[in-house]
Structure 1
Amino acid sequence: MMKKYISLFILFISVLTTQNILAQNKLIDRVAATVGSSIILQSDLEMEYAQSLAQGMKPDENMKCVILQQLLTQKLLSQQAVIDSVEVSEAEVDDELNGRMQMMVRQAGGKERLEEFLNRSLLQYKEEMRSNVHEQLKARKMRGNIVSAIDVTPQEVKRYFDALNQDSLPYFNTEVEIGEIVINPVLTKEEKDIYRKRVEGYRQQVLNGSDFATIARLYSEDGAAPFGGESGFQTRDYWAKEFSAMAFKLKEGEVSPVFETQFGFHILQVLQRRGEEVNVRYIVVIPKPTDASLNRTKAKIDSIYDKVTQGKMTFNTAASIYSDSDESKYTGGMLTNQEDRSSLIPVDQLDRETFTAIDPLEVGQYSKSFVSKDRMGRPVYKFVFLKSRIAPHKANLDQDFAKIQEAARQDKVNRKLSEWFQDRKENTFIDINPDFLKCDELKPWISVEQLAQTK
């Protein structure tokens, strides 16, 4: 599987490199479409197509019709965003670019290898991408503004469900309502000092003249390491409060002392301040639980389990007091389906450890404590409560109201967007390159005059 992704990525880079060479010779940059006062170049289309190949799509020239349709949509939305004064900050563009670059670095197998493929630095490539990403974010915000106020009433949900073909309703897998109490291992001061001293050693190397970015690439333990630990411009609320306090206290060029957040031990260097935003370089080392800390954690969660199962404390109260889970601590330990925000979770969405724990339980029972992992992959102890289990069934309003409500809302969103685009298309000059006039996906965008050329 890894070889497959590397091959796809190499194909992506190869297409980009070829595209750049051709563009320089004026062979590939022609107008694929005109939307109002904006144009879509063939090179824009080729770029999007190459990215689709990199994500696993099989080569298919017909896919360019779909991509051009998406670019037409983007242009209409971004043009309306200008009219409506929809703003996108440089920080938002930086965040999006940094996320994309980090993904590409992981796929390429390192920053240096990616730059070799691109035949230019990541900073240069990011600047080349900036205007397109800015437009994409504006279009995304505009789309959100168009549909932000859309909601559906219970009566609309029922009408939507009744209008569906009852013979082809979806069939839902087993779903459960479950709660969890999670306890994170806590290291003693002596156990933590090993990691604090390690980061202090990195700091001394920097103070003695070593390059901060090089040390970060070698030793930092998060996604910014391939970029020399550089974060891009961020606001205060982007980081943990301890990190933000340090980042906004230091002067440009200054290196912080070692400090701790919930994620580990850090040092940082301020690169540049820009109003209420700051760009820093940082190193983080994430402490690993010791056997002793795991034993202490198991003893703690087992004592909580005893209180709950012996009736000394309710599960919801225990979760509110003791659980370390940010996701469930404030809901009495109960988990939420992230797709539709309901309390019912399909069992095939559960991690293996949780599924194994609840599988033998009867409704109302608690599992024994077991080791699982948090979102950062660190070991934690938890036990779970099975509140309800719904057997596989065909969709119905009683059991699946939240899912049907979301489907009804999405249907309403799609109709609203369709109406909006139809109105804009009728009042905007749109011209498609003749090479694309036979694309079925583009028929709604083609004028009557142009459409006649295809016959």
Structure 2
Amino acid sequence: MRNLFYSITLFLAFCSLTVKGQEKIIDRVVATVGSSIILQSDIDNQYMQYLANGGTPDESFKCTALQQLIMTKLLAQQAVIDSVEVTESEVDDQLNARMREMVRRAGNQERLEGFLKRSLLQYKEEMRPIMAEQMKANKLQGTIVQKISITPQEVKRYFESLNQDSLPAFNTEVEIGEIVVNPVLTKEEKNVFRDKAEKYRKQVLDGTDFGTVARFYSEDGSAPYGGELGFATRDTYVKEFSAMAFRLKEGEVSPVFETQFGFHFLQVLERRGEEVNVRHVLIKTKPTQASLERTKAKIDSIYDKVSSGKLPFHTAAAMFSDNKETKFNGGMVINEQSASRTTLIPVDALEKELFIAIDPLKPGEFSKPYQFKDRTEQVAYKFNYLKTRIPPHTASLEQDFAKIQEAAQEDKTRRKLSEWFEKKTKATFVHVSEDFQTCDELKMWLTPTDNDIAAK
């Protein structure tokens, strides 16, 4: 149960990818939560999505799905009482992001619409109230746990409460630094991509539908939606994009302009207060062979200075690295899976390319510069610094305080959520259909009468 309570946030995001109404079936109510109901089709859709994501057939998953849906309903109902709101633009942003991911997984818009047996526009409207409910529930959960903190004494007590004969074992961990250099194009090299964007803009000005041009030529994830981005505030976009989007009148097409992503042109579809809905075409700039050669020469020069001891690694990172996430942290990479933002990273969490680069190194050594692709699939060069390598070991308070602190914080959060749900169920009518009453996950939701039935 405790893992279910803590994973509710992940579940809320997971729910938004479910497929509704693949086939017409006779539906039924499987649970009542206050004034809300949960249908068999809700459970079946969760199970179908679980299988689609690679899960192995397991009917017990439906018990877990119903457990999580009950928690979502309770949170959402309290959110209404507490006047927790989400804006239309927030819902739009989430829906658009979810559908972009679904299109990516399906391969293209047509294949996804065939799977859904409806257009993306229809699906979006069906999902809107579901998404709004999930987002309200998520916001309320945040207010329940936002003030939870943990003291060093609580961390110590938590560690001492663990079975000392079965403490967790940690794999090899490393602290890694990096210096990244991105290719820089000359004006002449950039003009190739600018000219392409200008050509597509001219097609729009000559009468071709903007959405059609975006679908065929834009290199942005919004291309399947005709380039439409949905309502957003000024701070949603990089400054060059925002400046253009909030300068134009409705229906107006912008000139071609440049951002860190490449060359764009956009059209304002609608304004709503401090929000604007635009569609755009993006032509990404790509490194030329000449720019890659210049970049390789630059990083080789930096590597020579650092590896020879002429320039400290942290100084070189601050001066030359193009990765803004690490350059002001002495070049050190943060463990993004850790809430405590530690620099210790398990080696089994490293990307294959990075692991190969640092595996032969001893602490204090540097890898040779190598070419790689960043998260946006942009080609760049980097070299790594291995600061620390901690061999596999059993958890200890001295060596693993940050991880134990994180676990203690999670435990305290789970207990807080558990207490909230237990209190809420005493004040809310919850009924689970008879065929789900044998699920261990649902025992806490059963009424005395239900428990009598489940015991038979």
TM over 0.5: yes
Match for residue 412 of structure 1?
A: 412
SS in 2 for 1:182: strand
Checking the alignment, whether the CA contact within 8 Å between 1:16 and 1:50 is kept in structure 2 is: no
Match for residue 22 of structure 2?
A: 17
User: 1:57: how far off?
Assistant: 2.5
SS in 2 for 1:363: coil
Deviations 1:157-196 (A, max 9, x none): 1111112122222222211112111110000000000000
Give distance in 1, aligned partners of 2:76 and 2:328: 39
Report whether the alignment pairs 1:257 with 2:250: no
Match for residue 435 of structure 1?
A: 435
Deviations 1:228-286 (A, max 9, x none): 11111112222111111111111111111111110111111111111121111111111
User: 1:359: how far off?
Assistant: 2.1
Give distance in 2, aligned partners of 1:127 and 1:419: 35
Deviations 1:317-346 (A, max 9, x none): 221121100220111111111112111111
Residue 286 of structure 1 aligns with an amino acid whose one-letter code is: K
When the two structures are aligned, how many residues end up with a matched partner? 436
SS in 1 for 2:335: coil
Match for residue 6 of structure 2?
A: none
Match for residue 380 of structure 2?
A: 380
Residue 433 of structure 1 aligns with an amino acid whose one-letter code is: S
User: 1:59: how far off?
Assistant: 3.7
Q: What are the within-5 Å matches in structure 2 for residues 87-106 of structure 1?
A: 87-106=85-104
Q: What are the within-5 Å matches in structure 2 for residues 52-451 of structure 1?
A: 52-340=50-338, 341-451=341-451
SS in 2 for 1:186: coil
User: 1:432: how far off?
Assistant: 1.9
Checking the alignment, whether the CA contact within 8 Å between 1:229 and 1:283 is kept in structure 2 is: yes
Deviations 1:39-79 (A, max 9, x none): 22333333323322322223443322221111110111111
Give distance in 1, aligned partners of 2:414 and 2:272: 39
Give distance in 2, aligned partners of 1:257 and 1:185: 25
Give distance in 2, aligned partners of 1:109 and 1:334: 36
SS in 1 for 2:208: coil
Give distance in 1, aligned partners of 2:102 and 2:423: 38
User: 1:403: how far off?
Assistant: 0.9
Moved more, 70-79 or 342-351: 342-351
SS in 2 for 1:255: coil
Checking the alignment, whether the CA contact within 8 Å between 1:363 and 1:387 is kept in structure 2 is: yes
Checking the alignment, whether the CA contact within 8 Å between 1:222 and 1:284 is kept in structure 2 is: yes
SS in 2 for 1:82: helix
Give distance in 2, aligned partners of 1:315 and 1:271: 48
Checking the alignment, whether the CA contact within 8 Å between 1:242 and 1:260 is kept in structure 2 is: yes
Deviations 1:267-318 (A, max 9, x none): 1111111112111111111111111111111121222223323444321122
User: 1:99: how far off?
Assistant: 1.9
Moved more, 84-93 or 203-212: 84-93
Residue 276 of structure 2 aligns with an amino acid whose one-letter code is: V
Give distance in 2, aligned partners of 1:451 and 1:89: 41
Deviations 1:211-241 (A, max 9, x none): 1111111111121111111111112222111
Residue 206 of structure 1 aligns with an amino acid whose one-letter code is: V
Give distance in 1, aligned partners of 2:382 and 2:59: 50
Residue 32 of structure 1 aligns with an amino acid whose one-letter code is: V
Give distance in 2, aligned partners of 1:201 and 1:214: 14
SS in 1 for 2:231: coil
Give distance in 1, aligned partners of 2:383 and 2:417: 45
SS in 2 for 1:399: coil
SS in 2 for 1:232: strand
Give distance in 2, aligned partners of 1:430 and 1:357: 55
User: 1:366: how far off?
Assistant: 2.1
Checking the alignment, whether the CA contact within 8 Å between 1:271 and 1:281 is kept in structure 2 is: yes
Q: CA RMSD in A?
A: 1.7
TM-score, structure 2 as length reference: 0.91
Using the aligned pairs only, state the percent identity: 64
Counterpart selection for 2:30 from 29, 32, 51: 32
Deviations 1:368-405 (A, max 9, x none): 22112211111111122121111111111222111111
Give distance in 2, aligned partners of 1:368 and 1:161: 41
> How has the CA–CA distance of structure 1 residues 174 and 62 changed in structure 2, closer, same or farther, with 3 Å as cutoff?
closer
> How has the CA–CA distance of structure 1 residues 62 and 391 changed in structure 2, closer, same or farther, with 3 Å as cutoff?
closer
SS in 2 for 1:233: strand
Checking the alignment, whether the CA contact within 8 Å between 1:35 and 1:72 is kept in structure 2 is: yes
Q: 5+ residue gaps in structure 2?
A: 1-17
TM-score, structure 1 as length reference: 0.92
Residue 187 of structure 1 aligns with an amino acid whose one-letter code is: L
User: 1:210: how far off?
Assistant: 1.0
Give distance in 1, aligned partners of 2:117 and 2:333: 47
SS in 2 for 1:384: strand
Give distance in 1, aligned partners of 2:448 and 2:120: 45
Moved more, 217-226 or 110-119: 110-119
User: 1:204: how far off?
Assistant: 0.5
SS in 1 for 2:280: strand
